[in-house]
Amino acid sequence: MKIINSSATLQEFVAYQHQHQLRVGFIPTMGALHEGHLELIRQSIQSGNQVHICSIFVNPKQFNDAKDLEKYPRPIEADIQKLESVGCSVLFLPDYEQIYPENWQRFPFQFANLDTTMEGLHRTGHFEGVAQVVYRLLQICTPDQIFMGQKDFQQVAIVRSLMKQAHLEQKIELVRVPTVRELDGLAMSSRNIRLSAEGRKRAVFISKTLFWLQANYKNLTPNEAQNQSKTQLQAQGLDEIDYLEIIDAFSLQPVEKWEDALSVVVCVVVRIDGVRLLDNVILY
């Protein structure tokens, strides 16, 4: 696996691949890699790309909490080994200046209401930071496909919208990959290692509640489904619920009647031991 630190070098590298008709898959991450990230690389391989570029960049602009940024794990040696083990071709490992050079100009994205609910409401400025970094990474990497995890459902919607606004959706395909889970159902996340042993045990009830809802929502109204799911979480001592929203998969707005939406997702964030744990399932 090649390790590239410079944006200009990566641009040249990708241009060379494209001149030779090789397809490039791109997987942006913040490192502390786990099976969820590795699955994105496997999907790039299975989708017929010949070159797989994973970036690791802990983007300060998307952290609204300085402590969360400071505590974000950065086990780079282990990450390199994991990437090599799944057949990643290139690790793009830029520093801050490579991503945000002095002459860098933000793109004036407008997300209508995609960024005013859920994560947008609870993490001010988060999606502005995500959008700018993904846009910049796409400019540098110019892939044929970008792979992102369903675990960050709202983030995928934001990236889909930014690609439309920047006229990239004709050139680059966005592939959403299902959430990879621990054996007990907990969605894999780089933040899970910050849970205490007791917190880790309780965390299983997040996915349990979502799967319960998946099996039972048809007998309930969306409002009842939301209330009963929250009650179930609270009954397990998970009472720090940032939100539990039942939303239209396209507009990300809350659903009042099932028949109003073609596709519905339930998205939740629960705090355990001060760690924000995100999860979602698609109901239909």
Active site residues: 37
Q: How far is the CB of 180 from ligand AMP (least distance, A)?
A: 4
- Which one among 80, 137, 186, 187 touches ligand AMP, defined by CB under 6 A? 187
Q: How far is the CB of 192 from ligand AMP (least distance, A)?
A: 9
- Which one among 39, 144, 245, 279 touches ligand AMP, defined by CB under 6 A? 39
Contact 84, 1 (CB under 8 A): yes
The reply to whether 277 sits near ligand AMP by the rule CB under 6 A is: no
What is d(CA 21, CA 238) in angstroms, rounded to the nearest whole number? 51
The reply to whether 190 sits near ligand AMP by the rule CB under 6 A is: yes
**Number of residues near ligand AMP (by CB under 6 A):** 17
The reply to whether 94 sits near ligand AMP by the rule CB under 6 A is: no
Of 140-179, which residues contact ligand AMP (CB under 6 A)?
A: 148-149, 151-152, 177, 179
The reply to whether 189 sits near ligand AMP by the rule CB under 6 A is: yes
What is d(CA 87, CA 253) in angstroms, rounded to the nearest whole number? 39
The terminus-to-terminus CA distance of the chain in angstroms comes to: 39
Cβ-based neighbours of 140, under 8 Å, separated by 6 or more: 7, 10, 11, 92
Q: Which residue has the tokens 């799944």?
A: 86
Q: Is the dihedral of CA 148, 154, 160, 164 positive or negative?
A: negative
Q: How far is the CB of 30 from ligand AMP (least distance, A)?
A: 4
Return the number of other C-beta atoms located less than 10 Å from residue 175's C-beta.
Answer: 16
Binding site for ligand AMP (CB under 6 A): 29-30, 36-37, 39-40, 148-149, 151-152, 177, 179-180, 187-190
